[in-house]
Amino acid sequence: MGEQQPADEDIQDALDWARLRLKEVGFFAVQDGLRWAAAYGFVRSVWRNGPIENAHAFGPTGRRKALHDGTMFARNTWLTRQTFDVLGSDDQFRLYELEDLVLNRDMLWPGGEETLTDFGWGFLGEIKNHVKQCIDVLGHFERRLPPDDFLVFTSAPWFGACNDHYGMPRWPACVEAAVRRLRGEDEEFWRVRGDLMTRIGSAPAAVTADLEATRKQLLEPPWELGAENLGWFAWNPILQPPDRTTL
- The pLDDT assigned to 7 comes to 59
193 shares a domain with 125? no
Q: Both 60 and 120 in a single domain?
A: yes
Residue, of 245 and 203, whose pLDDT is higher: 203
Helix (H) or strand (E) holding 198: helix 187-200
* 83 and 202 part of one domain: no
Considering the domain boundaries, does residue 8 fall inside one? no
Q: What is the pLDDT of residues 110-130, one digit of tens each?
A: 978 899 999 999 999 999 999
Over residues 207-234, the pLDDT tens digits come to 999 999 999 999 999 999 999 999 999 9
59-117, pLDDT tens digit by residue? 899 999 999 999 999 999 999 999 999 999 999 999 999 999 999 999 999 978 899 99
Q: What is the mean pLDDT of residues 188-195?
A: 95
The CB-based long-range contact list for 15-24 (8 Å cut-off, 24+ gap) reads: 15/145, 15/149, 15/152, 15/153, 18/152, 18/153, 18/155, 18/156, 18/159, 19/152, 21/159, 22/152, 22/155
- The answer to whether 231 and 73 have CB atoms below 8 angstroms apart is yes
Question: What is the percent of the chain where pLDDT is above 70?
Answer: 94
- Contact at 8 Å (CB) between 231 and 69? yes
Residue 197 pLDDT level (bands cut at 50, 70, 90): very high
Q: Say yes or no: 45 and 75 in one domain.
A: yes
pLDDT of residue 183: 96
Q: How many domains does the chain have?
A: 2
Compute the distance between CA of residue 2 and CA of residue 67 in angstroms, rounded to an integer: 38
Are 98 and 39 in a shared domain? yes
Query: Residue 240: pLDDT above 80?
Result: yes
Specify whether 154 is located in the same domain as 175. Answer: no
Cα separation, 121 vs 112, whole angstroms: 17
Q: Give domain status of residue 17, yes or no.
A: no
Within a domain: 131: yes
Whole-model pTM? 0.92
pLDDT at 246 over 50: no
Q: What is the mean pLDDT of the chain?
A: 92
Residue 212's H or E segment, with its range, is helix 211-219
State which residues form the domain around 81: 22-158
- Residue 125 to residue 240: CA distance in whole angstroms: 36
